[in-house]
Structure 1
Amino acid sequence: MKISLIVAKSKNNVIGNNNQLPWHLPADLAHFKAITMGKPIIMGRKTFDSIGKPLPGRRNIVISRDKKRMIRGCEVFHSIDDAFNAVKTEQEVMIIGGANLYLQTLSMANTIYLTVIDAEFPGDVFFPALNNNKWKLMSEEMHLPDEKNKHGYCFQVWTNAQAVV
């Protein structure tokens, strides 16, 4: 099973503020949808709460410490290991946040789909810095601001040659 992280971050590594994305980039939302469609997505409970509903066309898995938590349209697990066990026959699983889940899975991940927004934002949740000895930039696609996307952004794909599953 391939483990992939997908995340958008600002130049100052912000990924969230008050349980919300601090920006609105329709192109990044479309990119997220294209990459995750048809694949299992694993998210923390706070990330699910910020989205507010299961994402269609994907197997939605939520990690929650609350043993009684049930979420319609989602599978709820109490550890990342339990979630991985449930999807072990899948070709690829997508980790979509939040920060704690990224930290737990970064060393196991094979790929990171990273959107870097060309701006700095205030925030209270951050994406960890990538170790350049471990992660290799495989592709990069730059985009300038336009009428729908207020900020420039760059789609990057990173691979981890040292991933251990």
Structure 2
Amino acid sequence: MVSAIVATARNNVIGKDNQIPWYLPADLAYFKRTTLQHHVLMGRNCFKSIGRPLPKRTNIVITRDPFYRADGVLVAHSIEEALGIAFDNGEAEAFI
């Protein structure tokens, strides 16, 4: 199963200048609780804005850059490849 997990403002903003434009501890706690022990797929810019792999999750970074590497994450070059990695690892629910 593939699940999308996203928070948006009323005007559909999900981020600005590589930052989340709000701080809602309950929202962050929900994200953590929901994604723990799962594979989390994200784009390279999202990963760079977080600055580190999310703990207790398998982080898969999707990028077109064939030379991109980062510590603590798996790298894929398409959503299909990322999902293949997750499901080949036995994941039942991957989060995008």
Question: Larger % of helix: which?
Answer: 2
**TM-score (normalizing by structure 2):** 0.95
CA drift of 1:85 comes to 1.1
3-state DSSP class of the match of 1:16?
A: coil
SS at match of 1:85: helix
Alignment of 1:69-84 (within 5 A): 69-84=68-83
Alignment gaps of 5+ in structure 1: 96-165
Aligned residue number for residue 44 of structure 2: 45
Q: CA deviation at 1:9?
A: 0.5
In the other structure, the counterpart of 1:15 is 14
- Structure in which a larger fraction of residues adopt strand: 1
Structure 2: distance between partners of 1:26 and 1:85: 32
Letter in 1 for 2:32: K
TM-score (norm 1): 0.56
The question of 1:25 aligning with 2:7 is answered no
Q: Distance in 2 between matches of 1:18 and 1:78?
A: 24
**Alignment deviations for residues 39-92 of structure 1 (CA, whole Å, 9 cap, x no partner):** 000000010011000000000000011111111000001111111111123110
Unaligned ranges ≥5, structure 2? none
When Rg is computed on C-alpha atoms for both structures, the one with the higher figure is 1
Q: How many residues align?
A: 94
Could you tell me how far apart the structure 1 residues matched to 2:13 and 2:86 are? 29
AA of the residue aligned to 1:17: K
Q: 1:30 & 1:48 partners in 2: Cα distance?
A: 18
Summarize the alignment of residues 12-161 of structure 1 with structure 2, pairs less than 5 Å apart. Answer: 12-88=11-87, 89-95=90-96
Counterpart residue identity of residue 68, structure 1: F
